[in-house]
């Protein structure tokens, strides 16, 4: 597509429920990133996918967080047993390779109540 597409744009969930956030990167971009933006904070790295290489999961805050990227394209970030501190904007970005500037999606605003 023309840009990075994320869905849903907003998600309100009850504490303890699981959520799935989707990212559709720019066609042909081999690198895909997930970042988290909490209120008043900068962007926090979560996970990175590059082609068929093993993902860098070093930024995932707990084992409740996981992500996969199927077929080198669409990625899903899953948060299990959501907690209130998970409330944030989750941003996905893609780039042609690991050294290029990113293009960000509009994000998913997650609110855990």
Partner 1 sequence: GQQLNQSPQSMFIQEGEDVSMNCTSSSIFNTWLWYKQDPGEGPVLLIALYKAGELTSNGRLTAQFGITRKDSFLNISASIPSDVGIYFCAGQKASGGSNYKLTFGKGTLLTVNP
- Strand 108-112 and strand 10-13: the pairing is parallel
Task: Determine the interface stretch with partner 1 among 13-21, 52-60, 64-72, 73-81 (rule: CB under 8 A).
Answer: 52-60
Report, in Å, the least distance between residue 16 CB and partner 1.
Answer: 27
Site mask, partner 1, residues 54-73, x = CB under 8 A? --x-xx--------------
Identify any residues that bridge with 43 across adjacent strands, giving them in sequence order. 37
Task: Determine the interface stretch with partner 1 among 14-22, 71-79, 80-88, 90-98 (rule: CB under 8 A).
Answer: 90-98
Q: Which of 45, 51, 85, 111 binds partner 1 (CB under 8 A)?
A: 45
Q: Output the DSSP codes for 75-105.
A: EEEEE-S--GGG-EEEEEEEESSTTSPPEE-
- 8 Å CB contact between 12 and 111: yes
Q: How far apart are CA 68 and CA 8, in angstroms?
A: 17
Q: Is 99 in the site for partner 1 (CB under 8 A)?
A: yes
Q: Is 110 in the site for partner 1 (CB under 8 A)?
A: no
- 8 Å CB contact between 99 and 10: no
- Residues of this chain that interact with partner 1 (CB under 8 A) are 4, 31, 33, 35, 40-45, 48, 50, 56, 58-59, 91, 93, 98-99, 101-107
């Amino acid at each position: 597509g023309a840009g990075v597409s994320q869905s849903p744009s907003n998600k309100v969930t009850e504490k303890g429920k699981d959520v799935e956030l989707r990212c559709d990167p720019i066609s042909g971009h081999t690198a895909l990133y997930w970042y988290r933006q909490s209120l008043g904070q900068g962007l926090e790295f979560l996970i990175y996918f590059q082609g068929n290489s093993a993902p860098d999961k070093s930024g995932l805050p707990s084992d409740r967080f996981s992500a996969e990227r199927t077929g080198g394209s669409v990625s899903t970030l899953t948060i299990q047993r959501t907690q209130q501190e998970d409330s944030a904007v989750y941003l996905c970005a893609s780039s042609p390779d690991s050294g290029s500037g990113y293009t960000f999606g509009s994000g998913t605003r997650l609110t855990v109540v």
